[in-house]
């Protein structure tokens, strides 16, 4: 039960007090801590709220196992006694969904909705910033590696670099060449597919390019046909590695906005430098 004077406490402090940090530095909340703060007296009633939140998570096409982790723990009853109880580790997003499904007549629930909505949005912005940073770095990386691969391919006798590049894509994308990938991602002919790849897809392609570069050079490949074959086989093997690791196939990864938009977001997020007039 909330302590007397609870409603006058700063909302952030209330929910920060029961926030936990895991060994891998991930924040979480315990359902048994949260239900008391929200003024529930029977944990079974609160479990129904959690179930509704899990369903909302599923309906949003998000894996609930990433946000709701059930486990059993023992609690101290005093005088050496203890009892095992069920509990749930909740992510910030899980707490947000719980607030949306909790008793709206409780004022603390309204406060929780505001708190977790703001905190979830802050995390989304932070995640976007980190993804933009990774993506920009990887986009520069693959540009550099593609230039070097073109030099290695030229040395091997490749004259039609477009066809050679397509062979690598076909191996990695299960037979889809650059035109087909562009159509699949609903891009215009003047839009570069690399400029609309997220960090995961860019990393897949960097692996392909790096390994093709090394293999052609290592084997002293001679002739356009041989270089094309190597590039295709490398792409196919990279695809097999992704599958073995349980990763998402590159053609199934979503198209993202233009790389320049990511650069704009990074620039707008950076602290404005003081001018000498300041």
pLDDT per residue over 130-140, tens digit each? 999 999 999 99
Asked, for residue 108, whether it belongs to a domain, the answer is: no
Q: Show the tokens assigned to 96.
A: 């947000």
Q: Which residues contact 259 (CB under 8 A, 6 or more apart)?
A: 135, 136, 139, 195, 196
Q: Is the dihedral of CA 209, 210, 214, 217 positive or negative?
A: positive
Asked, for residue 138, whether it belongs to a domain, the answer is: yes
Instruction: Give the domain extent around 94.
Output: 6-103
Q: How many CB atoms lie within 10 A of CB 182?
A: 18
Phi-psi region of 136 (alpha: psi -120 to 50; beta: other; left: phi over 0): alpha
- What is the predicted pLDDT for the residue at 56? 94
Instruction: State how many domains the chain has.
Output: 2
Q: Kindly state whether residues 81 and 181 are assigned to the same domain.
A: no
> Rounded to whole angstroms, how far apart are CA atoms 192 and 197?
9
Asked, for residue 75, whether it belongs to a domain, the answer is: yes
Concatenating the DSSP letter of every residue in 111-179 gives: HHHHHHHHHHHHHHHHHHHHHHHHHHHHHHHHHHHHHHHHHHHHHHT---HHHHHHHHHHHHTTT--HH
Asked, for residue 118, whether it belongs to a domain, the answer is: no
Asked, for residue 275, whether it belongs to a domain, the answer is: no
Q: Kindly state whether residues 137 and 236 are assigned to the same domain.
A: yes
Each residue's pLDDT tens digit, 56-79: 999 988 899 999 999 998 877 767
Q: Which residues contact 92 (CB under 8 A, 6 or more apart)?
A: 27, 29, 116, 119, 120, 123
Asked, for residue 110, whether it belongs to a domain, the answer is: no
| pTM score of the predicted model | 0.67
> Rounded to whole angstroms, how far apart are CA atoms 199 and 205?
10
- What is the predicted pLDDT for the residue at 80? 65
- What is the predicted pLDDT for the residue at 123? 82
Residues of the chain with pLDDT under 50: 1-8, 272-278
- What 8-state DSSP symbol labels residue 251? G
Asked, for residue 191, whether it belongs to a domain, the answer is: yes
> Rounded to whole angstroms, how far apart are CA atoms 33 and 256?
39
């Amino acid at each position: 039960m909330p302590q007397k004077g609870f409603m006058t406490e700063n909302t952030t402090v209330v929910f920060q007090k029961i926030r936990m940090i895991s060994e891998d530095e991930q924040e979480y909340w315990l359902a048994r801590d949260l239900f008391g703060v929200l003024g529930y007296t029977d944990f079974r009633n609160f479990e129904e709220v959690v179930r509704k939140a899990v369903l909302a998570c599923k309906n949003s096409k998000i894996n609930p196992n990433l946000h709701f982790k059930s486990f059993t723990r023992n609690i101290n009853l005093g005088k050496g006694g203890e009892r095992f109880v069920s509990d749930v580790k909740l992510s910030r997003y899980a707490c947000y969904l719980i607030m949306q499904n909790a008793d709206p007549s409780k004022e603390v629930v309204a406060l929780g909705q505001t708190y977790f909505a703001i905190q979830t949005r802050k995390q989304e912005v932070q995640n976007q910033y980190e993804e933009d940073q990774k993506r920009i770095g990887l986009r520069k990386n693959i540009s550099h590696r593609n230039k070097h691969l073109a030099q290695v391919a030229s040395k091997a006798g490749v004259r039609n670099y477009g066809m050679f590049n397509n062979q690598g894509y076909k191996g990695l994308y299960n037979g889809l060449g650059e035109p087909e990938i562009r159509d699949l991602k609903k891009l215009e002919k003047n839009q570069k597919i690399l400029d609309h790849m997220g960090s995961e897809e860019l990393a897949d392609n960097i692996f392909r390019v790096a390994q093709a570069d090394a293999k052609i050079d290592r084997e002293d490949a001679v002739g356009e046909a041989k270089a094309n074959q190597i590039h295709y086989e490398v792409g196919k093997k990279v695809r097999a590695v992704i599958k073995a690791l349980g990763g998402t196939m590159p053609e199934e990864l979503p198209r993202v906005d233009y790389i320049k938009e990511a650069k704009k977001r990074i620039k707008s997020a950076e602290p404005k430098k003081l001018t000498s007039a300041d």
